[in-house]
Amino acid sequence: MKVLFMGTPDFAVPSLEAIAAAGHEIVAAVSQPDRPKGRGHKLKPTEVKAAAERLGIPVYQPETLKNNAFLDKLNELDPDIIIVAAYGKILPGYILDYPRYGCVNVHGSLLPKYRGAAPIQRCVINGDSVTGVTTMYMDRTLDTGDMIFAEKTEIGKTETAGELFDRLAALGGELIVRTIGAIENGTAPRIKQDDSEATYAAMLDKSTGRIDWTRSPNEIINLIRGTNPWPLAHSEYKGEIMKIFAAEAGSGAGEPGEILGVRGKKLEIACGDGSVLVGEIQMKGGKRMTVASYLNGHEIETGEIMK
């Protein structure tokens, strides 16, 4: 079976590698164009592009797929199936309709929950205990196609979105190989999604990480976990942004956002129904460090209100 792979970030790489390792013919990888990154604004290849080049797979990076822009290349490559993992653009109808076996997506949630751009982060922010990966046939609307296989996994109580992201990416690689095999031998199911159970995982932006100290300790801790490594939970201390990487529930009480002091080398901050103990922070212009290390050279005033 000739496979065309479409993906962009590191979540997609294990799927690409697993398909290649399983011996399927990957005719090409399609990824979004390289973008400038870092202080020097140098063009950096996407993670899928870098992986494809290591595997000796041709890479195409069209600026647009609209108006049949990629049709000539599709005709040249003539894939039997298109596998999509976090490509980052809506596929137009001429691509969805092209391959004999359809377009199949690797999605980082147990559909129909968390359709959309940020399923992994949102399930952590919401405090879910279980998530997984789903493979599905793609259709004209976002993440609504018939499901093929799903694989569940428990979310660790202290697991960050970044840690879960890596586990689900690996799980997606295993699942897509199973999926391709089932499609190839005619045993792949088509399971309709129950739209009444659907939820949407909106894309994150920097404001997503803003801490509302009137929330409960669990809600704040889940936000910290779910926005790590990006955009990171944050609040203001004396007008400067404090990024927060790790926290646990405390036992204190006070005005929401009030700094209650240092407890066990951690910073205790009051919230809506208790407090949280903050273990790692980063102040503007500084490095990520433990609160204990930060306090070796800086002062954080008890009674100050985080905003």
124-143: pLDDT as tens digits: 999 999 999 999 999 999 99
Residues 177 and 222 in one domain: no
Point out the domain boundary residue: 201, 223, 248: 201
Point out the domain boundary residue: 201, 224, 247: 201
Average pLDDT, stretch 248-257? 97
Token readout for 62 is 């069209």
CA distance 115 to 240: 35
Average pLDDT, stretch 44-72? 97
Q: Is 80 exceeded by the pLDDT of residue 41?
A: no
Residues 214 and 194 in one domain: no
In a domain, 195, yes or no: yes
Q: What CATH number is associated with residue 239?
A: 3.10.25.10
In a domain, 242, yes or no: yes
Average pLDDT, stretch 237-255? 97
Residues 31 and 151 in one domain: yes
Range of the structural domain that residue 279 is part of: 207-295
Burial status of residue 98 (CB atoms within 10 A of its CB: 0-12, 13-18, 19 or more): buried
The number of residues making up the chain comes to 307
Helix (H, G, I), strand (E, B) or coil at 156: coil
Q: What CATH number is associated with residue 43?
A: 3.40.50.170
Whole-prediction pTM? 0.95
- Contacts of residue 133, defined as CB under 8 A and 6 or more positions apart, other chains included, come to 106, 107, 108, 109, 110, 150, 151, 168, 171, 172, 175
Q: How many domains does the chain have?
A: 2
Point out the domain boundary residue: 201, 226, 259: 201
